[in-house]
Structure 1
Amino acid sequence: MRKLTGLLFAGGLGFMLLAIASGIDFGSPPMRIGEAIQSASPQEVGAANIVTSVVLGYRGIDTLGELAILFAAASAAGLVLGRRHTTTGTQRKGGFVLFHGGALIFPFLLTIGFYIIFHGHLTPGGGFQGGVILAAAFFLPLLARPGARLHHSILSVIEAFAGASFILIGLAALAEGQAFLQPMLNQDTLGTLISAGTLPLLYIAVGLKVGAELASLLSNLAHTESEQ
């Protein structure tokens, strides 16, 4: 019975794929949606980076769902790993190079992270990529100083503020009679820093939220590893 069910499923799946493939000309896939976004995005959204237009404009609700998934994953990991920490004996110390190198690289990582977030609507990058760099900036001192800890209460406030800001910007668009998360404010000149309406503000919220959640998760993992 199981083999028959598997054969029926495989046959149905193969028939569906064959039917879809038969309606598409080989070598020239239809790019109607992509072409429409590329032609309309500069005027409608004002972002030089078309990916930003898609991520925050045309499918902003999906991006909000991705942030919710990341929050759920970080919360679940925190519940599993966030037990009371005890210190016994002397704490391990990082090497000389790692200790001083971490302090030296920290401001550069912060600068790069915020640069990528602020310019996400102009160049490849944005809130997710910049947020990961910010998380790495705060996680690096934990590697150099195993006894150091991040203030999870501060990270929680940043994460909550960023998430609420993302939703409030979307609700503000609804209050103006527009679609949820539709860019508002003046779009200004295409390709300039002050452009794309509220999309840069959304990317700042995404970057802070991703950075805070990943930094908290990495901190829990580091403390758990140091206790073993």
Structure 2
Amino acid sequence: MTTRTAIPLVLLALLGTAFFTLFAGYVPDAELNRTAAYYANQTVAETGAQNVVTAIIVTYRGLDTLGEVTVLFLTAAIVGLVLAHSKAPKGRSGSGFLPSGELLTTGTRMLVPVILLFGAYVFVNGHLTPGGGFQGGAIVASGLLLMLLADPAERFSHGLISRIESSAGLTYVILGLLGMILAGGFLDNRILPLGTFGSILSAGAIPLIYILIGLKVGAEFSSILTSLEETEDAE
């Protein structure tokens, strides 16, 4: 056995041993810790949201969510910057793309509106059902990906995508600051009435926050996809 083969095997054995040790010694907690118990008992009363998990993410852990969307924004910016300065080989242009098949083109025309509507449904109803801004934004971006697959020569406005992303991000931060001024902390959803529990207009500002997150995430993913497609087109 060569050294090149032995090293991965040793690392795999060490990793397997570590996971086995953790699994063999795992003992589930008999009861929730103090923080988890507070979330479980108080989230519905304080936020008015039916979906406890998403309510925690967007209110109690709102700063974490802000950090996550910031990381995604930086990723999209870096991808665009790197690809914009990359030197593509010559000999191919956008006119060299083969036309898409009729099945893909027709399917895209039928499915994209449904995908966009479903993405909007996911982030608008994040306080009621599983989902939220990140999931809905990714679904919206998948509609754009399908459009690029159906028509590789398609061009989307970077300016429009940038304006949607920046406006959603700025409004998100403003809502967070309003929570500090008018309620109990950053992104406190009680800046708006909690409404009737279980209805679409409930949970205070959570639906509005999720709409902003969905638009921001969708725009950031779309920016990455557009940058990648344009680089491939230039090759």
Relative to 1, partners in 2 of residues 1:143 and 1:71: Cα closer, same or farther, differing over 3 Å? same
Contact 1:150–1:216, Cα closer than 8 Å, also in 2:
no
Map 1:148-227 → 2, pairs under 5 A: 148-176=154-182, 178-183=184-189, 184-227=191-234
Shift in Å, 1:94? 1.2
Aligned to 2:5: none
Give structure 2 stretches of 5+ with no counterpart. Answer: 1-17
Shift in Å, 1:83? 4.9
Instruction: Using structure 2 for the length normalisation, give the TM-score.
Output: 0.82
Number of residue pairs the alignment of both structures matches: 209
Asked if 1:80 corresponds to 2:86, the answer is: no
Structure 1 residues 88-143: Cα deviation after superposition (integer angstroms, max 9, x where no partner): 65443211111111111110001100000110000000100000011111221111
Relative to 1, partners in 2 of residues 1:75 and 1:57: Cα closer, same or farther, differing over 3 Å? same
Aligned to 2:116: 110
Aligned to 1:38: 40
Relative to 1, partners in 2 of residues 1:162 and 1:88: Cα closer, same or farther, differing over 3 Å? closer
Q: Which amino acid in structure 2 is aligned with residue 71 of structure 1?
A: F
SS at match of 1:203: helix
Give structure 1 stretches of 5+ with no counterpart. Answer: 1-13
Map 1:91-170 → 2, pairs under 5 A: 91-170=97-176
How many angstroms apart in 1 are the aligned matches of 2:39 and 2:127? 15
Relative to 1, partners in 2 of residues 1:185 and 1:114: Cα closer, same or farther, differing over 3 Å? same
Aligned to 1:55: 57
How many angstroms apart in 2 are the aligned matches of 1:192 and 1:202? 16
Relative to 1, partners in 2 of residues 1:128 and 1:81: Cα closer, same or farther, differing over 3 Å? same
Shift in Å, 1:82? 2.6
How many angstroms apart in 2 are the aligned matches of 1:199 and 1:163? 15
Q: Which amino acid in structure 1 is aligned with residue 132 of structure 2?
A: G
Shift in Å, 1:188? 1.2
Q: Which amino acid in structure 2 is aligned with residue 104 of structure 1?
A: M
How many angstroms apart in 2 are the aligned matches of 1:110 and 1:162? 17
Which runs of structure 1 show a deviation greater than 4 angstroms over 4 or more consecutive aligned residues? 83-86
How many angstroms apart in 2 are the aligned matches of 1:46 and 1:164? 25
Contact 2:51–2:127, Cα closer than 8 Å, also in 1:
yes
Q: Once superposed, what is the RMSD of the aligned Cα atoms? A: 2.4
Relative to 1, partners in 2 of residues 1:46 and 1:219: Cα closer, same or farther, differing over 3 Å? same
Aligned to 2:14: none
